[in-house]
Structure 1
Amino acid sequence: MDSCLWSNLPGELTDRVFRRNNINSKDLARCSLVCTTWRLVIADIWGKNFSLLRTANTRATRRIVWDYKNFQIETFKGCKAELVDSLFHWEAIMIGPKDTPYADGVFLLKIYLSHDHPFQPPEVKFLTKKSWCPSRTIFQLLLVIYARFSNPEPDDPIDCEIAQMYKTQRIQYDENARDWTKKYATASRESAIDWSRFLKNNKILEPTKLVD
Structure 2
Amino acid sequence: MDSSSWSKLPRELMELIFRRSMNTKDLGRCSLVCTTWRLLIGKSSLATDIWGKNFSLLRTANTGATKRIVWDYKNFQIETFKGCKAELVDSLFHWEAIMIGPKDTPYADGVFLLKIYLSPGHSFQHPKVKFLTKVYHPNIGRDGRVCVEKSWCPSLTIFQLLLVIYARFSNPEPDDPIDCEIAQMYKTQRIQYDENARDWTKKYATASQESAIDWSRFLKNNKILEPTKLVD
* TM-score normalized by the length of structure 1: 0.80
Higher helix share: 1
1:65-121 superposed Cα distances (whole Å, 9 cap, x missing partner): 111011011110000000000011100000001111000000000111111111221
Residue 182, structure 1, aligned to residue 187, structure 2:
no
**Per-residue deviation, 1:17:** 6.0
Which region of structure 1 is more displaced relative to structure 2, 110-119 or 42-51? 42-51
Q: Any residues of structure 2 matched to 1:111-130 within 5 Å, and which?
A: 111-125=116-130, 126=140, 127-128=146-147, 129-130=149-150
Task: Decide which structure has the larger Cα Rg and report it.
Answer: 2
Q: Any residues of structure 2 matched to 1:70-85 within 5 Å, and which?
A: 70-85=75-90
* SS at structure 2 position matched to 1:124: strand
Residue 93, structure 1, aligned to residue 98, structure 2:
yes
| CA–CA separation in structure 2 for the residues paired with 1:97 and 1:105 | 8
| CA–CA separation in structure 2 for the residues paired with 1:182 and 1:56 | 44
| CA–CA separation in structure 2 for the residues paired with 1:93 and 1:188 | 13
* SS at structure 1 position matched to 2:62: coil
* Aligned length, in residue pairs: 188
% same residue: 81
Which residue number in structure 1 is paired with residue 212 of structure 2?
A: 192
| CA–CA separation in structure 2 for the residues paired with 1:72 and 1:122 | 19
What runs of 5+ residues in structure 1 fail to find an aligned partner?
Answer: 1-7, 20-24, 29-37
| CA–CA separation in structure 1 for the residues paired with 2:115 and 2:56 | 20
* TM-score normalized by the length of structure 2: 0.74
Over the aligned positions, Cα root-mean-square deviation in angstroms equals 2.3
What runs of 5+ residues in structure 2 fail to find an aligned partner?
Answer: 1-7, 11-29, 131-139, 141-145
